[in-house]
């Protein structure tokens, strides 16, 4: 399917109150399995992808590496893919704009840009954060890609939820297609939805206890998991390896996935 068709499909999947569940694969295999199981859209995860390269999350992956990874995922599946492109791989609005253009060239239907000053956990000033999103929006319109503007300061504990809301409102007014403030509470999530701009909700923290229907009742249009499922996989790796090496216990292997089922999904 052509990228413009995937982009249109991706836009149409953002319905307030009836959220798109958008899992985050970390490699080609996990992307093919998720798509094969019925995911209508996918998103890359910087933390999950970084782990496959032996890198920590938060500014260690270069733009070139992220673009190559995104292109590989896009080529492997026939559903829209959103790219987790961290802070746009640079501080300046011009750099962010160029990242958005390159994201479209890689085949992505959407791209997310956050306001964290990589590799620190600090946040850009309000004015610079807004200027970066304004530049991203202008380019997103030119290349036809869904732009998600992220206010990550509450996640990083560099500002409070009121500031996350203030920034997301400004990003929405600047023309962002989707707004996203990870880990804010239900009241702030409802306030984000009240802007009328589609909202992405991260299924993490207290939100993990809600169903997709309950999350939808908050008014959100999309649910992502970030590196959540990759972290669950890593926990199995940690626990299983420790059991083998420390106690000679191999029972974790009894929980292995069916080779037949996985290969069927990979070969779809």
Read off the pLDDT of residues 188-207 as tens digits, 9 standing for 90 and up. Answer: 999 999 999 999 999 999 99
- For the beta carbon of residue 60, count every other beta carbon within 10 angstroms: 15
Q: Is residue 144 part of a domain?
A: yes
Q: Taking all residues of the chain, what is their mean pLDDT, rounded to a whole number?
A: 97
Phi-psi region of 62 (alpha: psi -120 to 50; beta: other; left: phi over 0): beta
Q: What is the mean pLDDT of residues 154-164?
A: 97
Calpha distance 265→96 (Å, rounded): 36
Q: Is residue 192 part of a domain?
A: yes
- 208 falls in which pLDDT band (50, 70, 90)? very high
Calpha distance 211→201 (Å, rounded): 12
Q: Is residue 64 part of a domain?
A: yes
Instruction: With a cut of 90, say whether residue 176 has pLDDT above it.
Output: yes
**Mapping DSSP to helix (H, G, I), strand (E, B) and coil, where does residue 21 land?**
strand
Residues 91-143: tens digit of each pLDDT: 999 999 999 999 999 999 999 999 999 999 899 999 999 999 999 999 999 99
Calpha distance 154→174 (Å, rounded): 21
Q: What is the mean pLDDT of residues 156-165?
A: 97
Q: Give pLDDT, residue 58.
A: 86
Instruction: With a cut of 90, say whether residue 268 has pLDDT above it.
Output: no
Domain CATH number, residue 44: 3.20.20.60
DSSP 27: S
- Compute CA distances 110 → 34, 80, 121, whole Å: 18, 8, 24
Q: Report strand pairing: 199-202 vs 222-224.
A: parallel
Q: Is residue 247 part of a domain?
A: no
Residues 235-246: tens digit of each pLDDT: 999 999 999 999
Q: Is residue 252 part of a domain?
A: no
Which structural domain range is residue 58 located in?
3-227
Q: Which residues have CB under 8 Å from 248's CB, separation 6+? A: none
Q: Give pLDDT, residue 200.
A: 98
- For the beta carbon of residue 250, count every other beta carbon within 10 angstroms: 10
Burial of residue 212 (number of CB atoms within 10 Å: 0-12, 13-18, 19+) = middle
Main-chain dihedrals φ then ψ at residue 113, nearest 5 degrees: -125, 130
Q: Give pLDDT, residue 1.
A: 83
Q: Is residue 253 part of a domain?
A: no
Based on the structure, what is the number of domains in the chain?
1
Q: Is residue 268 part of a domain?
A: no
């Amino acid at each position: 399917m052509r990228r413009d068709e995937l982009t249109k499909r991706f836009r149409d999947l953002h319905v307030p109150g009836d959220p798109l569940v958008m899992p985050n694969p970390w490699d080609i295999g996990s992307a093919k399995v998720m798509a094969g199981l019925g995911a209508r859209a996918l998103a890359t995860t910087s933390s999950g992808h970084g782990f496959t390269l032996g890198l920590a999350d938060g500014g260690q992956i270069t733009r070139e590496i992220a673009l190559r990874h995104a292109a590989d995922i896009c080529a492997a599946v026939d559903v829209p893919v959103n790219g987790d492109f961290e802070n746009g791989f640079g501080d300046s609005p011009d750099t962010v704009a160029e990242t958005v253009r390159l994201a479209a060239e890689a085949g992505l239907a959407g791209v997310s840009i956050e306001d964290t000053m990589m590799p620190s956990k600090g946040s850009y000033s309000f004015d610079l954060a807004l200027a970066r999103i304004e530049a991203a929006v202008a380019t997103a319109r030119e290349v036809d890609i869904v732009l998600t503007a992220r206010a990550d300061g509450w996640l990083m504990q560099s500002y409070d939820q009121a500031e996350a809301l203030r920034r997301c409102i400004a990003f929405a007014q600047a023309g962002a297609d989707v707004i996203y403030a990870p880990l804010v509470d239900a009241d702030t999530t409802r306030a984000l939805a009240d802007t009328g701009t589609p909202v992405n909700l991260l299924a993490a923290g207290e939100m993990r206890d809600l169903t997709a229907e309950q999350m939808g009742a908050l008014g959100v249009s999309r649910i992502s998991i970030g590196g959540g499922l990759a972290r669950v996989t890593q926990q199995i790796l940690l626990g299983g390896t420790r059991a083998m090496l420390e106690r000679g216990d191999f029972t974790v292997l009894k929980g292995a996935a069916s080779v037949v089922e996985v290969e069927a999904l990979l070969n779809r």
